[in-house]
Structure 1
Amino acid sequence: MATLTDISAVDLRGLVKPGDRVIVGQGAAEARTLTRALVAQRHHVGRFEVFLGVVFSDSFPPDGTDGIDFTGYGAFAKSVALSRAGRLDPLPMPYSRLYDAFADGRLRPDVVLLQVAPGRDGRRESLSLAHDYTVAAARNARTVILEVNEDAPWTHGAELPEDLRVDLRVRAEMPPLDFGGSTVDETSAKIGAFVADLVPEGATVQIGIGAIPDAVLASLKGHRDLGIHSGVMNDKILDLIEAGVVTNAQKGRDAGVTVANVLFGTKRLRDFAHDNRALWVAPPPVTHDAGVLASLNRLVAINSAIEVDLTGQVNSEIAGGKYVGAIGGQPDFVRGGLASAGGRSVIALPATAKGGTISRIVSQVANVSTPRCDADAIVTEYGIAELDGCTLRERARRMIEIAAPEFREDLARAAHAAFGG
């Protein structure tokens, strides 16, 4: 068994150098024993950069991380505060390309901090809760440090590569971070019910994180023989597996297996995932690959947005002049859903923001994350706008119908000015 070092004996000077880019695990896969030590020792190291994904922890507060520059592929959960403070410099790249960019050196990784589950029964350690771009970065990094967590599940599809060089293994001081999901309010529940109507029996579902995805999953409890091929798996998907709704029997590939790139959930999900051959934690070249997605049966890709305009253009990145979202896997799954036999692309969002004072259906988005040519179904709490095959004028009419009533008149004026009719 590999030797484990206590974090109290680790001096990060020399392992992390000034100017380095440090890649850390995201979400529940964050190696928190290491990231907390990194922040605590930052002034001894000298100024360096941390590349972030989804952040659930309090490891990187804006007022307690001076001396660290932050980049990342978006602003999620706790990293939104860094973005609002002007501390996060986002990388506008689809999730599918991150893996290749770290693998081929377009993005330079110097130090990689990974949380892993111990090797079991003669098998190597497992990447456990995330098989994402960090492993591609680790192959090219100068320094790779593993945080070995006894409470992390050993997951299939995520065994640590045999040829990966590891410089240090540290004993985890805490279990993986729990993510219990979001509170589903009345608006989210209405949206979830509309989206569920677009999911046929036997469909393969992709979902994200947040109140609307959780509401969609709750609304799918009456469906049968669903499959999961998604960037994210959470406790709400586990609910559907345990209820017999998700069987993965009709996916067209990976029969009987739930496929996900990251696991964001609680101990209940971790216990389910441990050594479970019916769950595969797969890398982006599997979970987000265009050819793989096109080969799935009836893939319904369900994604969110900050705002959508009258032509179906989607902004999922910027609100109020601040970067508070991401491109993420949206373009990968939108086009994957459209390429799948019987598949769909669904963008779901509340009709308003800031207590109903701002419409999220707008005349024209200033920042386009997904173009109008890929628009299929847009859903708010007021209904479904089917846009595929519609002209601009017809799209505008349908989008106005799912906007909040108090904004429809202004939107109609904007549509008339832009498209006539």
Structure 2
Amino acid sequence: MFSKARILCPVLKQKVMSAEAAAALIPAGANVGMSGFTGAGYPKAVPNALAERIKEHNTQIDPNTGEKPFRINVWTGASTAPELDGKLAEVDGIEMRLPFQSDPICRDRINTGKMNYVDLHLSEVAPYAWSGFFGNMDVAVIEVVGIREDGSLIPSSSLGNNKVWIEQADKIILEVNYKQNARLEGMHDVYYGTALPPNRKPIMLTDPAQRIGEAYLRCDTDKVIAVVETNSPDRNSPFKPSDEVSKRIAEHILAFFEDEIKRGRLPAELLPLQSGVGNIPNAVLEALDSGPYKNLTSYTEVIQDGMLKMLKSGTLAMASATAFSLSPEGIEEFDKNIEFYRNKILLRPQDISNHPEIARRLGVIAMNGLIEADIYGNVNSTHIMGSRMMNGIGGSGDFARNGYLSIFMSPSTAKGGSISAIVPMVSHVDHTEHDVKIIVTEQGLADLRGLSPRQRALEIIDKCAHPDFKEQLRDYFERACASGRGMHTPHLLNEALSWHQRFEETGSMLA
């Protein structure tokens, strides 16, 4: 089917088989570690073949026998793609999912109680796996660019938890994807010095451009039970040009950076940037690229289109991440100019890209999205109306708690203005007020550093709330202050979540 030029290990050449044959080696109830992070570097063929096998099995179950459906537990780096999450969820093939997902079918099954979901800080997944908190990993399914003569692996377009899965799994299935650019070889930095307490040692990384590991993944060839050849692209979402709301948010952030530089609290080259995925973060990157900045650095999770543009223009000197998250145009640009990018991009395992110690040492500027924030600075980034999971916390907590600056961004309203992103009390807390330094909407930027709770409330209402909700928020705050229940963080407990209840009952948070 394909040239064997990418499978150079003689032992593993003998294990090449079809995706269907490989999928047949995964038993029901297995803990399966899949490669993949933000739609990059995930296995394409085996999950699809496994979904077909599960579908056939489950449709033949006689309900009178009490036989259980065929399901597996799926562990990844982060989100994957419809060919993996979507296909397996569609056939009711996932019992439990971790640590992050963005698939609509998965989301529906999680929120209807048909799938268990463990939402984790991405930096914690590897230590949890090493400690055995998830149980034993039965099978790892890992996409790679190629297999070297000694059995070591050339990583694909994401590293994520691949190193951990390969180490922990009893059995390994490799997908060699010929669609991935062979020139990815050498762009990875796989660190093998991590350990659990009490044996941990400092990770000696002091600059985003620094290499501390190896270019390849070590792999015990005895554990490899199948090699599958594929030729399929990553899921590439089209790049969306910044809308006016995103541009205004970006303008507020750039004005803040300029002021911080003038005050001597940020260097002219800023500090290493961490940016979540999405329209608003890309708008910030676009604004930085059009500004006076040169030789910036990034220590983040994903390389987005905006970062490629910044690397090309010289605004960004280098970017360290664990995966790509590019549009079709971004992929084309990267492949066309991969030799230019080779010395400017490093991909690391996510236990290093998201490591709290390194984020604190480098002084990362963390920029992430939010669903809602309350008037005291607590942030909900995962749950809709307190109960319904959106995607997950991802890496935002790794950087927000440990970065030099934690910036959370959002439009001030949602659902056509019927929902306020600024509320009296968040319906779910992912990032406490102690970890949130800056909140930004298109209305303005609230700098919460050094402010007491009541001062934060006034700053957030004044700077970030939409005009339609400002007076409503002020009224709540003033009545909470006058209630006599306590003046440190004033709340009216019988009203704190009434905005969410009002929305669910009437379709609007407006009183």
Is 1:169 aligned to residue 227 of structure 2? yes
Q: How far is 1:121 from its partner?
A: 9.4
Contact kept, 8 Å, 2:145 with 2:154, in 1: the verdict is yes
Q: Give the Cα–Cα distance (whole angstroms) in 1 for the partners of residues 426 and 29 of structure 2.
A: 37
Q: Deviations over 1:36-67 (max 9, x none)?
A: 11111114673322235313335415873224
Q: State the number of aligned residues.
A: 405
Q: Give the Cα–Cα distance (whole angstroms) in 1 for the partners of residues 400 and 74 of structure 2.
A: 29
Q: Give the Cα–Cα distance (whole angstroms) in 1 for the partners of residues 373 and 251 of structure 2.
A: 20
CA RMSD of aligned residues (A): 2.5
Is 1:347 aligned to residue 414 of structure 2? no
Q: Give the Cα–Cα distance (whole angstroms) in 2 for the partners of residues 122 and 11 of structure 1.
A: 22
Q: Give the Cα–Cα distance (whole angstroms) in 1 for the partners of residues 424 and 447 of structure 2.
A: 17
Q: Compared with structure 1, are the counterparts of its residues 226 and 103 closer, same or farther at alpha carbon in structure 2 (3 Å cutoff)?
A: same
One-letter identity of the residue aligned with 1:293: A
Q: Which residue of 2 aligns with 1:244?
A: 314
Q: Give the Cα–Cα distance (whole angstroms) in 2 for the partners of residues 5 and 162 of structure 1.
A: 16
Q: Give the Cα–Cα distance (whole angstroms) in 2 for the partners of residues 305 and 215 of structure 1.
A: 16
Q: Give the Cα–Cα distance (whole angstroms) in 2 for the partners of residues 363 and 414 of structure 1.
A: 7
TM-score using structure 1 length: 0.88
Q: Which residue of 1 aligns with 2:23?
A: 12
Contact kept, 8 Å, 1:7 with 1:37, in 2: the verdict is no
Q: Compared with structure 1, are the counterparts of its residues 377 and 184 closer, same or farther at alpha carbon in structure 2 (3 Å cutoff)?
A: same
Q: How far is 1:413 from its partner?
A: 1.5
One-letter identity of the residue aligned with 2:465: A
Work out which of the residue numbers 462, 466, 471 in structure 2 matches 1:404.
466
Q: How far is 1:174 from its partner?
A: 1.5
Q: Which residue of 2 aligns with 1:215?
A: 283
Is 1:55 aligned to residue 80 of structure 2? yes
Larger Rg: 2
Structure with the bigger percentage of helix: 2
Give the percent of matched residue pairs that are identical in Structure 1 and Structure 2.
Answer: 25
Contact kept, 8 Å, 2:19 with 2:46, in 1: the verdict is no
* Superposition pairs of residues 106-185 of structure 1, within 5 angstroms: 106-108=133-135, 109-119=137-147, 124-152=152-180, 153-154=184-185, 155-158=187-190, 159-163=216-220, 165-185=223-243
Structure 1: unaligned runs, 5 residues or longer: 249-257, 339-343
Q: Which residue of 1 aligns with 2:98?
A: 72
Instruction: Tell me whether 2-11 or 65-74 shows the greater mean CA deviation.
Output: 2-11
Q: Deviations over 1:180-228 (max 9, x none)?
A: 3345222112112222333453121100111111111111111222101
One-letter identity of the residue aligned with 2:396: Q
Contact kept, 8 Å, 1:132 with 1:284, in 2: the verdict is yes
Q: Which residue of 1 aligns with 2:273?
A: 205
Q: Give the Cα–Cα distance (whole angstroms) in 1 for the partners of residues 280 and 53 of structure 2.
A: 39
Q: Deviations over 1:220-243 (max 9, x none)?
A: 111222101001112210110001
Q: Deviations over 1:327-362 (max 9, x none)?
A: 221121112223xxxxx1101111111111110101
Work out which of the residue numbers 364, 375, 379 in structure 2 matches 1:310.
375
Instruction: Tell me whether 116-125 or 37-46 shows the greater mean CA deviation.
Output: 116-125
One-letter identity of the residue aligned with 2:95: D
Q: Give the Cα–Cα distance (whole angstroms) in 2 for the partners of residues 272 and 85 of structure 1.
A: 45
Q: Give the Cα–Cα distance (whole angstroms) in 2 for the partners of residues 414 and 49 of structure 1.
A: 45
Q: Give the Cα–Cα distance (whole angstroms) in 1 for the partners of residues 162 and 458 of structure 2.
A: 44
Structure 2: unaligned runs, 5 residues or longer: 1-7, 58-69, 191-215, 262-267, 488-511
One-letter identity of the residue aligned with 1:399: I
Work out which of the residue numbers 43, 46, 51 in structure 2 matches 1:34.
46
Q: Compared with structure 1, are the counterparts of its residues 67 and 227 closer, same or farther at alpha carbon in structure 2 (3 Å cutoff)?
A: closer
